[in-house]
Amino acid sequence: MNVLECKNLYKSYGTGRYVLENMSLSLPAGRIVGLLGPNGCGKSTLMKTVAGLLMPDSGAVSVAGTPVGEETKALVSYLPERTYFNSWMRVGDLVEYFADFYRDFDSGKAKGLLSDLHIDPSDRLKSLSKGTKEKVQLILVMSRRARLYLLDEPIAGVDPAAREYILSTIVGNYDPDSTILITTHLIADVEPVLDEFLFMGYSGKILRAGTADAVREETGMSLDALFREVFRCSANC
């Protein structure tokens, strides 16, 4: 059984143009997959649809064989592109909040990761930098034992020194029955942890898919270089 199945998805925002148009994809368990594409191509819309925050106009989405709805909230751990916590809250309050709200949340893991990144649980969010807030949010999301992790730009505001730790330790250690779907513009940074990639064009068209290893063997190019070539062509053709 695939962890994620999207079949013939259509989604518009009432403008007469589909953000997702007849989009289909399947993701198996035990994979870290990069969903890569230009701004405005529908990556975040797809993430929100899979998370159950948006309803598709038509088509079907399922997580671990369950149609997206109330039941899949317990299967999906979603990191939005923007932080959404109240600034007056302390980091430790958020750990307790997640522990109360999610039965699969591992408080010990969250506290250990916070300690590794030198984040004080007594600090209020309003006192933290943008990058540190993003670290806190990512730690909370990845401390759940979910079947599907949806990470929308998880390291965009994080300093380069912390990226390797975040990718190798936080993102790189997950249950083999689970799958991680990542959107990012920092392709060179995430490429070492990706098992597979999806190049997404406008209207949710999957232009190319495969593994980073196969790309290097077949083209002699990095995934980052191939991305630039594909989307430069898409823009000019």
Q: Where are the domains of the chain?
A: 4-84+147-236
The number of C-alpha atoms within 13 Å of 222 and in the hemisphere containing its C-beta is 11
Q: pTM value?
A: 0.92
Q: ∠144-146-152 over CA atoms, to 5°?
A: 85
Q: Three-state DSSP class for 111?
A: helix
The CATH code of domain 4-84+147-236 reads: 3.40.50.300
Q: Is 9 helix (H, G, I), strand (E, B) or coil?
A: strand
Query: What is the chain's pLDDT, residue by residue, as a tens digit (237 residues)?
Result: 799 999 999 999 887 789 999 999 999 999 999 999 988 899 999 999 999 999 999 999 999 999 999 999 999 999 998 878 888 999 999 999 999 999 999 999 999 999 999 999 999 999 998 888 889 999 999 999 999 999 998 888 788 878 888 888 878 777 888 999 999 888 988 898 899 999 998 888 898 899 888 888 888 889 999 998 888 855 544
